[in-house]
Structure 1
Amino acid sequence: MKKITFLSFFKFKLALPLLALFAIIHSLWSSTLIIIINNKIAGTSLPFLSDYDWIIYIFFIITSFFFTYFFKGYMIKVTLNFGKEMMLKIINKLRISDYESYLRLGEARVRTAMNDIGFLESLPEVFIAFLNAVIMILVTVGYMFWLYPQGALLIVALIIILCFVFLYRNKIIEKNMDKERDLDDSFMRNYNDFLHGFNKIKMSTKRSDSMFFDHITKNRNEAINLSIKSELAALGNNLTGEYSFYFLIGIILFVMPVVFGVDQGVIAGFMVAILFLIGPIGNIINLMKTLIGYKIAFSRLNEFNEITTGNFDYQDLQATPNQLGDFKKLSINNLSYQYVDEKESVIFELQPINLEIQKGEVIFIYGGNGSGKSTFINLLSGLYIPKSGEMLFNDVLITNNNRSDYRDMLSCIFSDNYLFTENYDNFDLLPSNEQLNELLKEMALDKIIKQDITENKIFQNLSSGQKKRLALIYSVLEDKDIFIFDEWAAEQDPDFRKYFYKNIIPDLKSKGKTVIAITHDDAYYKSCDRLIKFNYGKMLEENTIASSSF
């Protein structure tokens, strides 16, 4: 995705040209009314159809009514489609980016990016208001030059000075708003911790107080203080603009007659023009804080894009079907991985691994915390991209072009397994599915779960162990060639733990499935064909169970 700019947000369905055209026509219509009203007040006839100025006035009103209705209707369509298009682009880009990019972003950054998109949904309407105000100012200033050029130059000079004052003050507002967005990112992380770790919060008063007072409350206090500073600066801008008009009116009433010696007709024309300018200039001043917010939102979204750009591991959605074929063997050659900090310093390294996995094998992996087990599983599952080395599926090298095909050959249950609320896999979860019924009985869930026949899904108000068993059912229904289990049995009672090792794994093996499981249940190590140990980032040993005693 290219860098997001103001223009890129309007490059669909000719939105920008049409919006600009509508704004110009609407602005010219409004500006023409100045001439009609001012001429009528001054008793000056129009240069054409002077006897029918009332007809012209009515014509403009009626035309404006229908034009405004069409214009506002188009604005509704553009605004609603605008947010939808950008949100889908962001989600789709994140969807096809690699897993590591998502981890670098974090849930908080993704949520705030969605908030930025929501904020930018008002951009079309604000753009029209801003463009409309600019055109009306230009037309009105042009009218003043037509009335009396010297006086118009004086007014324009004062307006330019006022603009420079606003630009200087807006830099302060932008700085405060940018800091506030950083605080919003931190708050979202605290908020996610609060929601996802609520049970842990309830278990410690110290932890609860620290989160609320030292982080959430402190964060919000700092954010509110910055927001107050920004609002006060914006209020200063608004008042400066508002009272500057009194200053301009004073110049027209008291200075221009003395310095330039103009007559009352010119003074009246300038007064009408200045009173008309109050609206559009006031609109621009009021919009400045919003425009600064857009600038910051663009910057944040471009940072989002920078992290994910070029890190795609998902081939074209219209690509040909999986060409890897049925699984026979998986070869891992000098596979390594490194975790680095913000300074690009290596904080953990998984040493080069050489391993060959055959069809129908059962492999158990064990090791201490931080030994590299989960890192290896993330590499094996295709979520991580190795820093060096290679993986070959049936002698076919796994690359960005076929990595999603490779992942489609695997069924994984991770230690932090999450059950989706919807049936995205389109499983047959109806009572008529005999395989499902057998699996529910096998997992002792047939008396517990409730099936939604209308929506073809299962209600999931289950314990953590029951959720893992339901996840195993879904995994079996996927019927993939390779099954990866990350400490699946850790949350099961002794009976189900034994059933997993003595029944489920042998049954998968009998069907020619390959099973790779992280486990610390040493009492069941005899249930595997090979046992692999990790320690401090190294695969230290590989035991053949047939020749081992436990």
Structure 2
Amino acid sequence: MQVLLDYLDVLGKGSRREKTVIVFLAIVAGLLGALSVLLINIAIHRGFEFSLPLMGAFLVTTVLSIFTKRMAIRKMRAFLEEHIAELRLGLTSGIGNAAFPFVEQLEQSEAVTRMTIDARRISRTGDMIIKAYYSVFILIFTLVYLSWVSPFALVLFIGLFVVGALFVRFYNRYVARIIEKAAMEEEALFRGVEHLIGGFKELKLDPAKNRDFFENKLIPLISRIRDLRKVALYRLMESELVLEVLWLLFIGFFFALNDNNAVGAHVLIIFLFLEGPVADIIISLPFFVEANIASGRIESLQEQVDGQEVPNRPSQAENEAPPTFEAFKIRDIRFNYTDKQGQATYSFGPVSFDIKGHEITFIIGGNGSGKTTFLKLLLGLYPPLSGYFAADDKRIRMAEYGHWFSAIFSDFHLFNGLYGVSAVDESRLMLLMDEMGLSSKTAWRGERFTNTNLSTGQKKRLALVIALMEDKPVYVFDEWAAEQDSTFRMKFYEEILPELKARGKTVIVVSHDDRYFHCADHLIRLDYGKVSLDETIPTPS
């Protein structure tokens, strides 16, 4: 019973009106089911004498019971799907509004498994919950009738019921821990499959690595999940067996101690009728245990996400005209990466320099020098520990000005559509795709690109096409040319960047291509999180 009550709490976030209707229908169905037992016992009491009114009442009661039960199941299915959709929407919107450092550390497998596998575990309990509640209400109403037929049978039932309820409550806690552990291993398996697909080339290349990965990573994971779920299912089966034994003990004790044949006949009918509802309750328990665990896991992730949510405050900046600043001013910006104990593992800054508007600025430096960290600070993805940014002399919070920028990161994600572009100029899009050598690789059809399964260099060129279609005031490129051949590398530095500058765009490029540094108006070198060079490139005469 406690498990069923816990499940009501799982659905506590849903519509109160819908829940009230579902519970009301389940109560009515249970009451009608119990009423049919009463009508059968009346017929027995009359010696099975045919009575048209009694027969009519029985038929009407049975039909209404079936109808209300089916209506309750239908509404519960719809309610659960709405509930699951709200859970998924809450998680996705919460992640979308969360602080970037949190999302950066969020395990993809954790989010995906909880929005899919755990959500399905809740969803599939819809029919079971109605059958269980229907059975519970039948049990309650029938016990009321049983108290009138045989108070002794009622007392005996309540005693054994308390024993069974206590056993299930404490035993299922142990089972729940096993199921929770299996769910965590499933997340690890998801990560393993990501490695299998993402690292397929490396695994295929080296048989020893492939064998080691399978034998010491995937196969043990799959085996542990199998063993944990088998143990959980066996334990749940044992729980069901104990409840069935208690039910048989109840019947056996009653008939062993009862000496009234007339009462015994009535109670026997009640027992036979209750066998189905009691079985439904017992069978439903494993589903509710898994659903409660799944709901707890989703809520746990939701709480983490809510705790990291960055309020979407209405920003006047989004409605402002494109900026006409003379320079971005970076003043004393500092940032620390920290471990779980809050200790700094890498310190960036303080740095101070200007990025002139409508010019091309190269950010250069070795690996680990802080180039990508600076970009994330500039784009408002990381909050600075100290210092400020300014457009000319106006201090600004970069998190509110992300719409000024179009960025292609070194670890970029390629979308299959032009999100945020209200009106797509298809002729310009086709021209850009042709210039990037992509016309034979993909096409724009049905508001999306037909193929994004491209090489890394082609993906970057398609990302550049999307960025150019966005037509933002500021462009940021993080090692864009790294995977391009010599033709597109030259085209990027000597044609695309100058063209963006000619159109009045501000361009910021992270680059290692020293042979093209002359294409910049301004060079900033970072070393170990500090500025070691701030140089203006003279314009060729």
Residue 410 of structure 2 is aligned with which of 412, 415, 428?
415
Q: Could you say if the C-alpha distance between residues 201 and 389 of structure 1 is closer, same or farther in structure 2, counting changes exceeding 3 Å?
A: farther
TM-superposed CA distance for 1:486, in Å, is 0.7
Aligned to 2:186: 184
TM-superposed CA distance for 1:102, in Å, is 1.5
TM-superposed CA distance for 1:50, in Å, is 7.5
Q: Does the Cα contact within 8 Å between 1:324 and 1:394 map onto a contact in 2?
A: no
Q: Does the Cα contact within 8 Å between 1:190 and 1:211 map onto a contact in 2?
A: no
TM-superposed CA distance for 1:137, in Å, is 1.9
Provide the secondary structure at the position in 2 that maps to 1:546.
coil
- 1:486 aligns to 2:467 (yes or no): no
Aligned to 1:39: 42
2-structure distance, mates of 1:65, 1:164 = 32
The root-mean-square deviation of aligned C-alpha atoms, in Å, is: 2.9
AA of the residue aligned to 2:234? L
Instruction: Provide Cα deviations, 1:74-123, integer angstroms capped at 9, x if missing partner.
Output: 33432333322322222122112222222222211111121222222235
Aligned to 1:79: 80
Residue 313 of structure 1 is aligned with which of 282, 289, 310?
310
1-structure distance, mates of 2:208, 2:338 = 32
Provide the secondary structure at the position in 2 that maps to 1:370.
coil
TM-superposed CA distance for 1:464, in Å, is 1.9
Q: Could you say if the C-alpha distance between residues 316 and 351 of structure 1 is closer, same or farther in structure 2, counting changes exceeding 3 Å?
A: closer
Aligned to 1:29: 32
TM-superposed CA distance for 1:426, in Å, is 4.5
Q: Does the Cα contact within 8 Å between 1:113 and 1:300 map onto a contact in 2?
A: yes
Q: Does the Cα contact within 8 Å between 1:324 and 1:406 map onto a contact in 2?
A: no
TM-superposed CA distance for 1:26, in Å, is 0.6
Aligned to 2:56: 55
- 1:335 aligns to 2:338 (yes or no): no
Residue 435 of structure 2 is aligned with which of 419, 442, 456?
442
Q: Does the Cα contact within 8 Å between 1:427 and 1:477 map onto a contact in 2?
A: no
TM-superposed CA distance for 1:378, in Å, is 1.4
Q: Does the Cα contact within 8 Å between 2:353 and 2:534 map onto a contact in 1?
A: no
| Matches for 1:396-407 after TM superposition, within 5 Å | 396-399=394-397, 403=399, 405-407=400-402
Q: Does the Cα contact within 8 Å between 1:5 and 1:298 map onto a contact in 2?
A: no
2-structure distance, mates of 1:163, 1:138 = 15
Provide the secondary structure at the position in 1 that maps to 2:319.
coil
Q: Does the Cα contact within 8 Å between 2:69 and 2:134 map onto a contact in 1?
A: no
Q: Does the Cα contact within 8 Å between 2:11 and 2:83 map onto a contact in 1?
A: no
Provide the secondary structure at the position in 1 that maps to 2:268.
helix
Q: Could you say if the C-alpha distance between residues 61 and 133 of structure 1 is closer, same or farther in structure 2, counting changes exceeding 3 Å?
A: closer
Residue 320 of structure 2 is aligned with which of 317, 320, 323?
323
Q: Does the Cα contact within 8 Å between 2:318 and 2:401 map onto a contact in 1?
A: no
Unpaired segments ≥5 residues, structure 2? 1-6
TM-superposed CA distance for 1:393, in Å, is 3.9
TM-score relative to the length of structure 2: 0.90
Instruction: Provide Cα deviations, 1:272-318, integer angstroms capped at 9, x if missing partner.
Output: 22333332332222222222222222221222123221433362689
1-structure distance, mates of 2:229, 2:354 = 59
AA of the residue aligned to 2:433? L
AA of the residue aligned to 2:369? S
TM-superposed CA distance for 1:25, in Å, is 0.4
Q: Does the Cα contact within 8 Å between 1:101 and 1:311 map onto a contact in 2?
A: yes
Q: Could you say if the C-alpha distance between residues 440 and 535 of structure 1 is closer, same or farther in structure 2, counting changes exceeding 3 Å?
A: same
| Matches for 1:39-438 after TM superposition, within 5 Å | 39-43=42-46, 52-115=53-116, 116-257=118-259, 263-313=260-310, 315=312, 321-323=318-320, 325-328=322-325, 329-393=327-391, 395-399=393-397, 403=399, 405-426=400-421, 433=427, 435-438=428-431
Q: Does the Cα contact within 8 Å between 2:365 and 2:527 map onto a contact in 1?
A: yes
2-structure distance, mates of 1:492, 1:269 = 86
1-structure distance, mates of 2:33, 2:315 = 51
Unpaired segments ≥5 residues, structure 1? 258-262
Instruction: Provide Cα deviations, 1:239-270, integer angstroms capped at 9, x if missing partner.
Output: 2222332222211111233xxxxx11222222
Instruction: Provide Cα deviations, 1:162-193, integer angstroms capped at 9, x if missing partner.
Output: 22222232122111111111111211111222
Provide the secondary structure at the position in 1 that maps to 2:351.
strand
Paired residues in the alignment total: 532
Instruction: Provide Cα deviations, 1:303-343, integer angstroms capped at 9, x if missing partner.
Output: 21232214333626898952374241323232222222233
Q: Does the Cα contact within 8 Å between 1:253 and 1:267 map onto a contact in 2?
A: yes
Aligned to 1:260: none
TM-superposed CA distance for 1:235, in Å, is 1.0
1-structure distance, mates of 2:347, 2:502 = 36
Q: Could you say if the C-alpha distance between residues 470 and 452 of structure 1 is closer, same or farther in structure 2, counting changes exceeding 3 Å?
A: closer
Provide the secondary structure at the position in 2 that maps to 1:31.
helix
Aligned to 2:4: none
2-structure distance, mates of 1:234, 1:274 = 24
Residue 533 of structure 2 is aligned with which of 541, 544, 549?
541
